[in-house]
Structure 1
């Protein structure tokens, strides 16, 4: 897959809630710097982390608004809208940066305001 195809698939699978297939987009030795979860190394670590995601959010949408691809790099500005099982709504603008090699995400980071997530994370 090209970088653009990987990025498009990343958002499609997230919006479908197919977290196992979503994790398969990452290289085995991937590195992620996630605004809320911190530094995450390894695809299987990420997969374990994502197992709890469906219990955290009853609904989740991450809709890209701007996608910029330059070779093996991409940056995406997107809007997250999520709802917890208790009815708490989260809305945030996010910027993700990706490095893709061989059709897999080797590095990803995201940046967003953490305040909208505070009712969910308790932070």
Structure 2
């Protein structure tokens, strides 16, 4: 898959809640700078983390609004809408940066307002 295909698949799988297949998009030695979870190193660490994701959200959607691809790099502005199992709603604009090597996400960073996610910690 080329860079755009990987990015499109990233959002497609996330929006379907297919977290195991989503994790397979990442390189074994991936590094993710996740604004809420911090630095996540290694695909299997990410897989373990994502196994608990359905326990946090009853519904989750991350819809791209704008995608820019330049070779092995991509930047995406998207909008997250989610609902927790307790009925709290979350809406946030997000910017993601991807570095994709050999058809796998090698590095990713995301940036968003953390305030909407305070409902997850009860703050």
TM over 0.5: yes
Aligned counterparts of 1:94 and 1:52: Cα–Cα separation in 2: 21
Q: Secondary structure at the match of 1:58?
A: strand
Runs of 4+ in 1 over 4 A off after TM superposition: none
**What's the offset of the Cα at 1:116?**
0.3
Q: Secondary structure at the match of 2:14?
A: helix
Aligned counterparts of 2:20 and 2:121: Cα–Cα separation in 1: 22
Q: Secondary structure at the match of 1:86?
A: coil
Structure 2 residue ranges without an equivalent (≥5): none
Provide the alpha-carbon RMSD of the alignment.
Answer: 0.7
Matched, 1:78 2:115: no
Q: TM-score, normalised by structure 2?
A: 0.98
Aligned counterparts of 2:18 and 2:71: Cα–Cα separation in 1: 26
Structure 1 residue ranges without an equivalent (≥5): none
Matched, 1:41 2:41: yes
**What's the offset of the Cα at 1:121?**
2.9
Q: Secondary structure at the match of 2:36?
A: coil
User: Could you list the per-position Cα deviations for residues 46-104 of structure 1 after superposition, in whole angstroms to 9, with x for gaps in the alignment?
Assistant: 00000110010000000000000000000000000000011000000000000000000
